[in-house]
């Protein structure tokens, strides 16, 4: 099976399959005399595994860990569980951040008439409430030299 067929059968694009190969996530497959990559059933399993993990939001690095655990017959399921739980926590954290932004924005939108007049609490808030907290300011000036400040 060549790369296009493997892509269609796994749901991972040919482009990404080659990429995963270059970064060492998957092994280099055999080649035909003409240089075409040749994939077999095992490769397909791996690719499907990868697509599924990717759909669950795992990073390439985490997929590497998962693949290693998958192939390791002697690993304890606790290892897998730990990885999954950490990922769940990260997903929830990110989601919560987004929802927090959404709530804030929703509050502002609620106060905005949204008519043809120009008064707009949304912009007013963006313009003014931006310098909340002197701690932050002090913190920033003290810290930014040594740590990257991403202010979140």
Partner DNA sequence: CTTGACCTTTCCATTATGGGAACCTTCATC
Partner DNA sequence: GATGAAGGTTCCCATAATGGAAAGGTCAAG
Q: Is 150 in the site for a second copy (CB under 8 A)?
A: yes
Candidate list 11, 19, 44, 125; residue touching DNA; CB under 7 A = 19
Q: Is 84 in the site for a second copy (CB under 8 A)?
A: yes
Candidate list 9, 44, 56, 60; residue touching DNA; CB under 7 A = 60
CB 140 within 8 A of CB 151: yes
> Toward DNA, which CB reaches closer, 8 or 109?
8
Q: Is 17 exposed, middle or buried (0-12, 13-18, 19+ CB in 10 A)?
A: buried
Q: Is 114 in the site for a second copy (CB under 8 A)?
A: yes
Structure tokens at 119: 């008064």
> Toward a second copy, which CB reaches closer, 23 or 140?
140
CB 6 within 8 A of CB 44: yes
CB 122 within 8 A of CB 109: yes
Q: Is 149 in the site for a second copy (CB under 8 A)?
A: yes
């Amino acid at each position: 099976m060549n790369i296009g067929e493997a892509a269609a059968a796994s749901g991972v694009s040919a482009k990404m399959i080659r990429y995963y190969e270059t970064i060492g996530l998957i092994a280099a497959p055999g080649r035909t005399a003409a240089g075409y990559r040749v994939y077999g059933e095992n490769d397909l399993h791996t690719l499907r595994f990868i697509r599924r993990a990717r759909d669950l939001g795992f990073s390439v690095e985490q997929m590497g860990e998962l693949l290693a655990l998958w192939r390791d017959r002697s690993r304890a399921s606790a290892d897998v569980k730990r990885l999954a739980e950490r990922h769940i926590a990260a997903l929830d954290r990110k989601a919560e951040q987004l929802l927090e932004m959404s709530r804030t924005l929703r509050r502002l939108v609620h106060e905005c008439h949204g008519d043809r007049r120009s008064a707009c609490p949304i912009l007013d808030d963006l313009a003014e409430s931006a310098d909340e907290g002197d701690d932050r300011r002090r913190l920033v000036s003290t810290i930014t030299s040594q740590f990257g400040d991403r202010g979140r």
